Amino acid sequence: FCTPCLQECLKPKKPVCGVCRSTLSPGSRALDLEKQIETTETTCNGCNKKMYLSKMRSHAASCSKYQNYIMEGVKAVTKEPLHNSRSFPNRFTFPCPYCSEKNFDQEGLVEHCKALHSMDAKQVVCPICASMPWGDPNYRSANFMEHLQRRHRFSYDTFVVGDPFVDYDADEDDMMAQVLMRSLRDK
């Protein structure tokens, strides 16, 4: 993770996991996970030495073979990129359309706008909608706060539990219908 994204996940008000975005419980240590890290063996990809996961970070910092292994991977990736990352829109973090503060997840953007921009009448483009295939990146919402509360109470991709992906090629009404059907089925 880059520093701004990681900092957004660890905001004191609402720390969330950097991978799944679920809320972290402040002050409670994952003792079962610590024990698993202390007792799980792994092998260094550089020198093939066996060690516990808890020792891997310090070993990797001093193992020249591991550092060479990492550099070879970096060279391979930078030499032949598999795809142009610019062709895939970012649908996970969004800038505030009022003040351009960056790296909000969908829920964070809604909270930010409610807290700081609820009285701002300026017409703005919804960054969430603009990232969707059906979204118009030039459409300015007449009442952005109402739009946020009506359209973005949940995220399509995190609401649909169990699906490894969401079909972003479907239009917005189809997506909404899929989510509603699954919510009724899961009750």
Query: Per-residue pLDDT tens for 119-145?
Result: 998 999 999 888 887 788 899 988 999
Q: Look up the pTM and report it.
A: 0.43
At 140 the three-state DSSP class reads strand
Range of the domain at 173: 106-185
Across-strand partners of 140?
125
- Per-residue pLDDT at 159: 47
Measured on CA atoms in the order 113, 118, 123, 128, is the torsion positive or negative? positive
* Kind of pairing between the strands at 124-125 and 140-141: antiparallel
- Per-residue pLDDT at 2: 72
- Per-residue pLDDT at 108: 87
- Per-residue pLDDT at 36: 92
- Give the residue among 113, 129, 110, 138 at the shortest CA–CA distance from 176: 129
User: For residue 50, which amino acid is it?
Assistant: K
Q: Does some domain include residue 30?
A: no
Q: Does some domain include residue 13?
A: no
Q: Does some domain include residue 36?
A: no
In whole angstroms, give the CA distance from residue 47 to residue 18. 30
Dump the DSSP string for 29-70: --HHHHHHHHH-EEE-TTT--EEEHHHHHHHHHH-HHHHHHH
Q: Does some domain include residue 127?
A: yes
Q: In the chain, which stretches have pLDDT less than 70? A: 1, 6-16, 18-19, 26, 78-90, 153-173, 175-176, 179-180, 182-187
- Give the residue among 153, 142, 149, 145 at the shortest CA–CA distance from 176: 153
- Give the residue among 129, 98, 130 at the shortest CA–CA distance from 115: 98
For 67, what's the count of Cα atoms within 13 Å in the CB-facing half-sphere?
7
Please tell me the total count of domains within the chain.
Answer: 1
